[in-house]
Structure 1
Amino acid sequence: MEDLVIRPAAEDDIPALVAMLADDPLGARRDSPDDLTPYRTALQRLSGDPHQHLVVAEREGRVIGTLQLTIIPGLSRRGATRSIIEAVRIHSDERGSGLGTRLIEWAVETSRREGCQLVQLTSDKSRADAHRFYERLGFEPSHIGFKLPL
């Protein structure tokens, strides 16, 4: 992983990011490279928020992974700040290479630097391989998540 660069996502990365988001059965229902306009708008919003870190993993000029890290100041847990890891995606050619571990390590290290006392993430119930991966990295299943589409 010596030649790996983890850096903030840029507008030129959007096609590669959307392709990775759409490259699985769940993502294919939610994301599409047909119109990149909403993704560009989202990147502008994310880039302007200091609590948001949308990053890409790049090797030899090629985007091969991504995740979003959100820092959330809070009142609970004695005023603890937490972070949430979302949208972890690894290019299909790179799965099993250790890149996912490196990205999660980056997120945990960044969370520590940001003063977080807790790192959390969610994973769709159907992603058994992802659950094993996160547990292997020390994450523990702890909650049941709920969503309300608007």
Structure 2
Amino acid sequence: MIRIIRKAAAQDRQAVRDLLGQLGYAFTVEDVEDRLNLLAGTGTDPVLLAIRDDDIVGLIALHFAIILHAREPVARVTALVVRDEERGAGLGRLLVDAGDDLARQAGCSVLELTTAVARTEAHTFYRKLGFTNSSLRFSRAIRSHLAVQVCSRPAGCQR
């Protein structure tokens, strides 16, 4: 039985790295510790862990954002993973519910996520939790060669 859902801390770095590895992300323990410390300092990026018998068996990472076109902040699930051998026991649902509760406390009105196109089992899981396919996401690497000047003053910039 899951006894605890708690916020992640730097000392959880190895278990978090192992869980992210199950999603195909390769990080060093030091990289994970740095990220956990950075996220903990923002106030808008909680990482929650599911603990069973003193073992970390799952995590959900969230980002709360105020965006221009939404009246209330939006919560995005940036990572969700349950250890392979623990899947199917309701831990993913428990983590999403815990994330939903934190998002509500932060004033968010929507919980959204993105998922790789190839992760069809995850898509089925998300639909069972009430998520709908409401958008299409595009991405690209940031280009450093564009020569565009951005004026930071609302008025008075010269062309």
C-alpha separation between the residues in 2 aligned to 1:111 and 1:83?
6
> Which residue, 51, 54, 58 being the options, matches 2:51?
58
Write the mapping of 1:1-150 to structure 2, written as runs, cut at 5 A: 1=1, 3-24=2-23, 27=24, 30-32=25-27, 35-77=28-70, 79-150=71-142
What per-residue deviation string (whole Å, max 9, x for no partner) do you get for residues 62-121 of structure 1? 0000010111112213x3210001210101121000000100111112111111111110
C-alpha separation between the residues in 2 aligned to 1:55 and 1:61?
15
TM-score (norm 2): 0.84
Identical amino acids, percent of aligned pairs: 28
Letter in 2 for 1:123: T
Shift of 1:61: 0.9
C-alpha separation between the residues in 2 aligned to 1:102 and 1:20?
16
TM-score (norm 1): 0.88
SS of equivalent residue, structure 1 residue 112: helix
Letter in 1 for 2:119: R
Larger Rg: 1 or 2?
2
C-alpha separation between the residues in 2 aligned to 1:89 and 1:5?
16
Tell whether the 8 Å contact from 2:15 to 2:56 is kept in structure 1 after alignment: yes
**Gaps spanning 5+ residues in structure 1: where?**
none
C-alpha separation between the residues in 2 aligned to 1:51 and 1:101?
21
Higher helix share: 1
Instruction: Please list every run of at least 4 consecutive aligned residues from structure 1 whose deviation after the TM superposition is greater than 2 angstroms.
Output: none
SS of equivalent residue, structure 2 residue 42: coil
C-alpha separation between the residues in 1 aligned to 2:22 and 2:108?
31
What per-residue deviation string (whole Å, max 9, x for no partner) do you get for residues 13-72 of structure 1? 111111111124xx1xx314xx32221111111111111101111112100000101111
C-alpha separation between the residues in 1 aligned to 2:51 and 2:9?
12
C-alpha separation between the residues in 1 aligned to 2:4 and 2:138?
34
